[in-house]
Amino acid sequence: MTACLNCGHFFKGNFCPECGQKASTKKLTAAVLLEDTLHFFTHLEHGFLFTAKSFLLHPGTSSLKYLAGKRKPYQTPVSFFLIWTGLYLLLHNAIINYRHFHVNGDIISQENIREQSNLLFRHHLALFTFPVIIVSALLLYYIMARPKFNFIEILTLSLYGAGVYFMMSLVSDGILGFICNINILSTAVFLWQGILSSLYNCWFSFDFFKRLHIKLFWLRLVSVSILIAICGWLLMFYLPMAWVYFFE
């Protein structure tokens, strides 16, 4: 019999049936920490990388499987989004510091709200992504998804889509900023990320909704894609400006 080091329950086997902790734990070393980190990103929720690959290449099939209840192979949507957001921010800031990138016109006057909001947006991109996710989910729900799916189901899929977007942005920043030494805070890169987001949103929506035999499919798909792009641009342009105006 083994006594669980976490809850004290006596048991036989490799894992405690009460709390799930391993029967034995290793002394914390650099090697153990590295092993746990690799395990986290390759086995967390039985498929962190599998989820990323599935929702990048086959978002429609993956979405339908997840909504149908086949969820064990997939990373949970909130943690998937938060992990990729965190990884993106770490790499994004690391590249900025390593390459000493700055927003054009980094010396900003207190009177120039537009320039201040521009800087705020680029430094807190993930914060301003949440309203875009919610609005995108609402548009998809009302134009494409109802009554077959409810809003929370579409919001869940939007979190997966946003996670994949940050994954693609991470790769983009790595190539442009680290390898090519292109200022990832520039307006051109910001526009490229917007195009990348729109292209993936169109691909996700097409691959998912084409399987549902929706009436006026192409008209509704084009309409929702345009509306999401416009609303996303407006939110990311005016929300930072409003934040600067009211809180700074």
> Cα separation of 88 and 173, whole Å?
9
Could you tell me whether strands 2-3 and 10-11 are parallel, antiparallel, or unpaired per DSSP bridges? antiparallel
Q: Which residues contact 53 (CB under 8 A, 6 or more apart)?
A: none
Q: What is the Cα Rg of the chain in Å?
A: 22
> Is the pLDDT score of 245 beyond 90?
no
> Cα separation of 86 and 66, whole Å?
24
> Is the pLDDT score of 107 beyond 50?
no
- Give pLDDT tens digits for 117-140: 666 776 677 777 889 999 999 999
> Is the pLDDT score of 8 beyond 90?
no
- Give pLDDT tens digits for 139-173: 999 999 998 999 999 999 999 999 999 999 999 99
Percentages (nearest 5) of helix, strand, coil residues in the chain? 70, 0, 30
- Give pLDDT tens digits for 61-99: 999 999 999 988 888 899 899 889 989 988 988 998 888
pTM, entire model: 0.80
